[in-house]
Chains A and B, each alone.
Chain A
Amino acid sequence: DAGVTQSPTHLIKTRGQQVTLRCSPKSGHDTVSWYQQALGQGPQFIFQYYEEEERQRGNFPDRFSGHQFPNYSSELNVNALLLGDSALYLCASSRPLHSTEAFFGQGTRLTVV
């Protein structure tokens, strides 16, 4: 079992650009959540996808959007990048009806310059 995989591992973008991050959930999991972790802080919830729909959303602007595919994999898109978007972006998968734990990937380190 490969667990949760994220790509790419590192990324450097310029202010104003757009970025797409990808996540494959753990086998058997159908729910994907995205988190942003700034340096020295705990992860902050961005949104959660289940059955290809956004089910919950944290306090993030509309520049942050996502998608879930029929195979449960997911993408996080960020438009009009700001310097403050530099962070570790984490993907977590779970099975909502049986969820006692979430499994996290190792994250994508995004640097905006």
Chain B
Amino acid sequence: DAKTTQPNSMESNEEEPVHLPCNHSTISGTDYIHWYRQLPSQGPEYVIHGLTSNVNNRMASLAIAEDRKSSTLILHRATLRDAAVYYCILFTGGGNKLTFGTGTQLKVEL
């Protein structure tokens, strides 16, 4: 399984943008980049995914580098409810297994 590298933790102030980086230098051409987050005492929750182009949805934006070796999850205005562990995962579609790393613990302060 191709690996991803994320910082262990990041901090942000409420209502400020947050940029969560992920490196995936061994990504293959068929790997999608998925982001999940896990709030305290809950199961992981899908956030966003992309293949080559930048993506936006109601939760976040995903910026993918041109060489696809890195990506950035962007939360446009962090809230206290966004405090969670964020996982960057390479996923070769079709319901295959998700390989989680240790993720980035995002702390949001007032």
Residues of A within 8 A of B (CB): 4, 31, 33, 35, 40-45, 48, 50, 56, 58, 90, 92, 94-97, 99-107
Please, what's the 1-or-0 string for B81-110, where 1 marks a CB less than 8 Å from any CB in chain A? Answer: 000010100000111111111110000000
* CB-based A-B contact count at 8 angstroms: 61
B98 contacts which chain A residues (CB < 8 A)? 33, 35, 43, 45, 92, 102
The binding surface of chain B is classed by DSSP as loop
The complex places the Cα of A40 from the Cα of B101 at a distance, in Å, of 11
B15 at the interface (CB under 8 A from A): no
A94 contacts which chain B residues (CB < 8 A)? 95
Seed contacts A33-B98, A48-B96, A97-B94; 8 additional CB < 8 Å A-B pairs: A42-B103, A45-B97, A58-B97, A94-B95, A99-B93, A99-B95, A103-B46, A106-B43
A-B contact pairs, 29 of them (CB 8 A): A4-B43, A33-B98, A35-B98, A41-B102, A42-B85, A42-B87, A42-B100, A42-B102, A43-B44, A43-B98, A44-B100, A45-B98, A48-B96, A48-B97, A50-B95, A56-B96, A92-B43, A92-B98, A94-B95, A96-B94, A97-B94, A97-B95, A100-B93, A101-B46, A101-B49, A102-B95, A102-B98, A105-B43, A106-B41
